[in-house]
Amino acid sequence: RFFMTDAPRLAVSELSAGRSSSKPGALLAGAHDDEARADLDMRFSSITGVVSTEEKVRFERMIFRATRGNCYVRFAPIKQPITDPETGSLIEKCVFIVFFKSLSIETKLKKICDAFFAHRYSLPDMDDAPAVDRMLTENAQELVDSRTVLLKNQDTRFRLCQMLAQHTERWTWIVLREKAVYHTLNMFKADVSGMLRGEGWVISESFEDVRASVNRAHSDMDHNMPSHVDQV
């Protein structure tokens, strides 16, 4: 239908131009203006983005149903898998471009893209060659910068892991020893006076060493009440 909408307006404009001036220059200028206006009216808008290959069929079917077939959709596969920024897994994706000619359709298409987690990208007018070249140059530079940052991060992470690996065993034994100490203290019973009381066994030859260690640890805590280690 939109192919016939401009016919009455063009006819009226040509008739009014013929009545107002009989010069061929005026008629020629009016014809050029009408052609330029018709060319602008015939231009289509587009939405470009990337969607998962698994959702391609459902995505195209949803666009067709929502717009009642008033869109033209084209897909192009991406050769290598793309890493999903949210999950980190490799996913097969494809590029899509949708041509349409209505603001209401554009609103529906954006909602559909959001529902299918499709990433949209803005593209310049294909007739503007300098803008296209500038965008390609900027994208290439961004890829180079991103790769440089990624390599530096990987190198820093590798050197950090090497440094931490030298202390991993010692830290592991410290944590295990502290856990064993707290596990042993949890088996003590609290006395009425606030002291802890526990029963256990120890080698006879090490009994005096145990008593000295307990007294030394108790004195470091600055308690008024002395510690007591005795045989049962």
Tell me the percentage of the chain whose pLDDT exceeds 90. 15
Nearest to 197 by CA among 206, 188, 186: 188
* Distance separating alpha carbons of residues 230 and 232, to the nearest angstrom: 6
What is the pLDDT at residue 124?
75
Q: Write the pLDDT tens digit of every residue in 117-131.
A: 888 888 777 677 888
Three-state SS at 49: strand
What is the pLDDT at residue 231?
79
What is the pLDDT at residue 11?
43
* Mean predicted confidence (pLDDT) in 104-122: 87
